[in-house]
Amino acid sequence: MHIHILGIGGTFMGGIAVLAQSAGHRVTGCDTHVYPPMSTQLQEQGIGLIEGYDASQLALRPDLFVIGNVVSRGNPLMEAILNAGLPYLSGPEWIGQHILRDRWVLAVAGTHGKTTTASMLAWILEDCQCAPGFLVGGIPTNFGISARLGKNRGSADFFVIEADEYDTAFFDKRSKFVHYHARTAILNNLEFDHADIFADLDAIETQFHHFVRTIPGEGRLIVNAREAGLKRVLARGCWTETVWFGDASGAGWTFREQDEDTFDVLQDGQYHGTVTWRLGGEHNRLNALAAIAAASHAGVAPGEAAAALCRFTGVKRRMELRGVVNHVAVHDDFAHHPTAIAATLAGLRRQIGSARLIAVLEPRSNTMKLGTMKDRLPDALKAADLIFGYGASEGKDALEWPLADVLSPLAPRAQAFSDLDKLVDAVARAVRPGDHVLVMSNGSFGGIHQKLLDKIGAAS
C-alpha cells in the first residue's frame, strides 16, 4: 500500500512514517519547514518528503492519505482530497488499526515528561530482552530513532507509545490517546495546557477520564500520587487496578535519594534497586518510577529495570548538551510550559552548582503564544542568573503579548528580543568561561544552538 502522510515533519507523524515503512508500505509525505531531528530521521530512512501542501500531490495516487493534526480546513491538498472523495484517516486512527491491534500497549500520558518516560520504558523493555515496538515524540539516544515496530517474543508483543491529550485531527476532536487501547497506562501529571483547544483544566480532565475508560479491567494504571487533577479524574470512575508513585507517605513506588546522580527504588518501603545516571532533577526520578512500575506490569523485575536505567542515555532535545566552546556549555531542552521550564532549570542548577546559568527562551507553543500562562514565566525563570527571551514580531510564531513587559519583574537580569541575530550577539557578549547556557523551545528556534556555539567560539 502507498501511504501519503500530511504533516510528516512532526515527531508523531514522522514516527508513523517510520512504522508504516517498516511494515512494508510505500511511504511519502509532505510538510513545511521540517527541521532536525525529524528531518534527519526521515532522510536516513529514505522517506520521500515534499515541501508544502500543493494539490498537485494527488497525482501521486496513494492508496491512503494519513492526516496529521497540523492540517486544517483550507489546506489546499486537504481540500483536494475531500473534493475528490479520496480515502483518508488520522494518524492516531491509522496506528490504532494497523500497528497496535493485538499488541500489549503501554501508553504514557501526562502534561509533562511523556517523551522521556516513554523512552525510559522502551529502553527498560529493550535492555531486558523484550524487543518492544515504540513511538515517542523525540529520539531516544539509546535507539537513535523515534519509532520502530519491534518483534514478537512469545506471549507478549509490547508496544510503548507516547499518549497525547491533544486532539486527533480537524475531523476528530477526541484526544489522540483514546485510539490506542492501552493495557498499561501511565498518568504522569496533569495541568492546564493547549489553550488553543481546551477551555479549562476541567476539559482536559474529561479527556483523561475518557482515556481511563478505555483501559481494561485486567490492565493497570500507574498514577502520580502528587497530582490532585489525576485523583479527580479517577474519582469520576475507574475500572482498572491502580498503583501509585511519588507518594510522600512512602506507599507505592517511591525513591530514596543518595546524591544528585543516584537514588534507590522502593515499593511500599521495600528496596528493589539503585539507579545511577546523569539525568538531573526530581521530575526525572518520578519519570523513572513510573517507567519501572509500568515495566513491572509487563513482567520485568524492578531490580532489572533499575539496572537498565543506569544505561539509559536520554533523549535528543531533552537536556541535550549541544557543545562546549571556550568553556561555555550550550544545552538544548524542549521545555516551554512554565512548570517544565522551572523543573528543567532546577535540574540543571543542581548539576552545575554555583556556576552561572543562562536561560534562553522562545515561548512558541500555541498556549504560550496566546499568553495564557505568560504571568507564570517570571517565577518559572527565577533560577537563572541571566534570561534572554525571544518573541517573533510577525508570522505564525508571533506572540500576542509583550514579552519585555512580562519579563520586567526579572530586570535587570532579563532582556527580550524580536531579532534572533541580536539575541545571539547579546548572549555571546554576556557569557564567560564556566557558564551554562540552556536553550528552551518546542521548535527549531532558528538554529540558535549552532549560532551560539559559532559566535561564542569566534570570540576566542
Domains assigned to the chain: 2-92 (3.40.50.720), 100-309 (3.40.1190.10), 320-458 (3.90.190.20)
The pLDDT of residue 311 is: 96
DSSP 8-state secondary structure symbol assigned to residue 60: G
Provide φ and ψ at 214, rounded to 5°.
Answer: -90, -10
Alpha-carbon Rg for the chain in angstroms: 22
* Residue of 188, 229, 225 whose CA lies nearest to 206: 229
Instruction: Spell out a b/e string for 424-434, using b for 16 or more CB atoms within 10 Å of the CB, else e.
Output: bebbbeebeee
Quick check: helix, strand or coil at residue 360? strand
As a whole number of Å, the end-to-end CA separation of the chain is 55
Question: Alpha-carbon distance 421 to 48, whole Å?
Answer: 32
Which position has the grid cell 533560577?
383
3-state helix, strand, coil in the chain (%, to 5): 35, 25, 40
* Residue of 94, 104, 7 whose CA lies nearest to 52: 7
Number of other CB atoms surrounding residue 163 within 10 Å: 28
What is the CA angle 135-298-109, rounded to 5? Answer: 45
Give the H/E segment covering residue 83: helix 76-84
For residue 18, give the C-alpha cell.
517510520
The pLDDT of residue 154 is: 53
Number of other CB atoms surrounding residue 370 within 10 Å: 14
Question: Alpha-carbon distance 84 to 456, whole Å?
Answer: 54
Provide φ and ψ at 48, rounded to 5°.
Answer: -70, 135
Mind listing the pLDDT tens digit of every residue in the chain (460 residues)? 999 999 998 889 999 999 999 999 999 999 997 777 777 888 888 898 899 999 999 999 999 999 999 999 999 999 999 999 999 999 999 999 999 999 999 999 998 889 999 999 999 999 999 999 999 988 899 999 899 998 765 556 999 999 999 899 999 999 999 999 999 999 999 987 777 778 888 999 999 999 999 999 999 999 999 999 999 999 999 999 999 999 988 889 999 999 888 999 999 999 999 999 988 788 899 999 999 999 999 999 999 999 999 999 988 878 888 999 999 999 998 877 888 899 889 888 988 899 999 999 998 877 777 778 888 899 999 999 999 999 887 777 778 888 899 999 999 999 999 999 999 999 999 999 999 999 998 878 888 999 999 999 887 6
Residue 368 corresponds to which amino acid?
Answer: M
Question: Alpha-carbon distance 323 to 235, whole Å?
Answer: 47
- The partner residues of 153 in beta bridges, in order of sequence, read 156
DSSP 121-132: HHHHHHHTT---
What is the CA angle 84-87-88, rounded to 5? Answer: 115
The pLDDT of residue 357 is: 96
